[in-house]
Amino acid sequence: MTKETQLQVEAIKNGSVIDHIPANIGIKVLKLFKMHKTNERVTIGLNLPSSALGAKDLIKIENVYISEEQANQLALYAPNATVNQIENYEVAKKLNLTLPQHIHGIFECPNSNCITHGEPVDSSFNVITKKEDIQLKCKYCEKVFSREIVTELR
């Protein structure tokens, strides 16, 4: 392997690799999805050069397989991310993300009067897409917010 073709972050034997995360979103994704709350080894690469994105972030979690459903929750942040499942050093599966119809327990409702702030209930939004526009409707207060408003609160 020449210097140019070496991996920027060491290969893993088993687990998940979340690739093509836009630069600066990696840390947010890691924390929001609590990927660091594990005893398994997590390696991250930030601001890695990428021919497609210019710069990208990347997260590798050993011995943890992210389900398709979990992966899709990432789509609001990083619609072009790829989730790879690694088995015995090989890419066994590559998940392309599709926007979920519902999103639970990840984002807070931007409406400060919403019942979700006073009660021990998980937030819950329906995802509404109008052409390129993505909006989230709170299941509890029924208010509709743009994707940017909801995701930037966290």
Q: Which residues bind ligand CTP (CB under 6 A)?
A: 7, 11-12, 17, 19, 58, 60, 82, 84, 86, 89, 91
Is 109 annotated to bind a ligand? Reply is yes
Does 141 carry a binding-site annotation? yes
User: Stretches 9-17, 63-71, 97-105, 114-122: which one binds Zn ion (CB under 5 A)?
Assistant: 114-122
- Tell me the CA distances in angstroms from 90 to 56, 81, 86, 148, one per residue in order: 22, 19, 5, 36
CB closer to Zn ion out of 85 and 151: 151
Q: Given the rule CB under 5 A, which of 57-65, 72-80, 107-115, 125-133 is the region that contacts Zn ion?
A: 107-115
- Burial label, 43 (beta-carbon count in 10 A; 0-12, 13-18, 19+): middle
The CA-based angle 98-125-61, given to 5 degrees, is 50
**Feature table: binding site for Zn(2+):** 109, 114, 138, 141
